[in-house]
């Protein structure tokens, strides 16, 4: 007779295969991915915010602030992974939940800022200047975010980490935001219209709210 068991129980009882990495090795892979994320986000935030201020671009400024939030998220992940290595998985679960709530609140705040800034720019008929550093940064960010998100999702699934998956989702959102910024800046250059920047910035709001809800709820990562 074949006894049935919940999916997670079956997975937990299944012996590891030769192809599987030990959990500690996967945690160290996650560490490397987060340090790479931190290095890139420092560059991305500095360039995007600097270019946004110089060009008076709400779109680039919002992108830069999102990079700061992702930088903070990566730092929290470093802490969460360190907790597991030092104290085991029980404490790391509590760290994941707390980190998700913080990240979600920050993303909701950023969405509110973008909406308010876009409304102000539209009512004041205030546009932005085209930014070569900004568009170059966003073009470079697309493949970088694709690589980081794909690797983080893979490791998150193997170690069952909601926090790492939420961080991977942030990388995915950053990739989409990069594409939106590229399209917005290209349209701004082609049309030379003041309203392109604030309207394009509103396209970011959907991703920020969706990402914030997922981080706040802390949904299970592995299905």
Alpha helices per DSSP H over the chain: 7-13, 23-55, 58-87, 89-124, 132-159, 162-191, 196-217
Place of tokens 């802490």: 79
Q: Classify 129 as helix, strand or coil.
A: coil
pLDDT value of position 123: 80
Q: Which two tokens stand for residue 86?
A: 């030092």
Do 132 and 140 contact (CB within 8 A), yes or no? no
pLDDT value of position 96: 67
**Rounded distance, CA 96 to CA 220, Å?**
11
Angle formed at CA 176 by CA 193 and CA 55, multiple of 5 degrees:
35
Averaged over successive runs of 10 residues, the pLDDT of the chain (223 residues) comes to 48 48 87 94 95 87 85 84 71 68 79 80 73 92 94 90 80 84 82 76 80 71 44
Q: What is the CATH number that goes with domain 21-217?
A: 1.20.1510.10
The full set of domain ranges for the chain reads 21-217
Q: Compute the residue count for the chain.
A: 223
Closest to 58 in 3D by CA, of 177, 209, 211, 191: 177
pTM, two decimals, is: 0.72
pLDDT value of position 33: 94
Based on its alpha-carbon atoms, the radius of gyration of the chain, rounded to whole angstroms, reads 20
pLDDT value of position 223: 42
**Rounded distance, CA 73 to CA 14, Å?**
32
Which phi and psi angles does 220 have, rounded to 5°? -60, 145
């Amino acid at each position: 007779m074949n006894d049935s068991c919940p999916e997670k129980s079956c997975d937990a009882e299944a012996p590891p295969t030769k192809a599987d990495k030990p959990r500690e090795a996967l945690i160290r892979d996650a560490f490397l991915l987060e340090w790479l994320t931190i290095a890139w986000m420092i560059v991305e935030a500095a360039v995007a915010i600097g270019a946004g201020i110089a060009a008076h671009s709400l779109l680039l400024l919002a992108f830069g602030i999102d990079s700061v939030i992702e930088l903070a998220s990566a730092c929290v992940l470093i802490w969460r992974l360190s907790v597991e290595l030092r104290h085991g998985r029980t404490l790391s679960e509590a760290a994941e939940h707390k980190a998700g709530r913080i990240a979600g609140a920050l993303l909701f705040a950023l969405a509110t800022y973008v909406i308010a800034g876009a409304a102000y720019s539209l009512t004041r008929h205030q546009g932005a200047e085209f930014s070569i550093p900004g568009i170059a940064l966003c073009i470079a960010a697309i493949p970088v975010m694709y690589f980081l998100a794909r690797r983080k999702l893979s490791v998150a699934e193997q170690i069952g980490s909601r926090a790492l998956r939420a961080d991977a989702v942030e990388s995915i959102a950053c990739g989409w935001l990069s594409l939106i910024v590229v399209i917005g800046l290209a349209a701004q250059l082609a049309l030379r219209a003041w309203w392109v920047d604030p309207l394009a910035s509103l396209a970011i709001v959907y991703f920020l709210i969706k990402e914030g809800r997922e981080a706040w709820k802390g949904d299970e990562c592995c299905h």
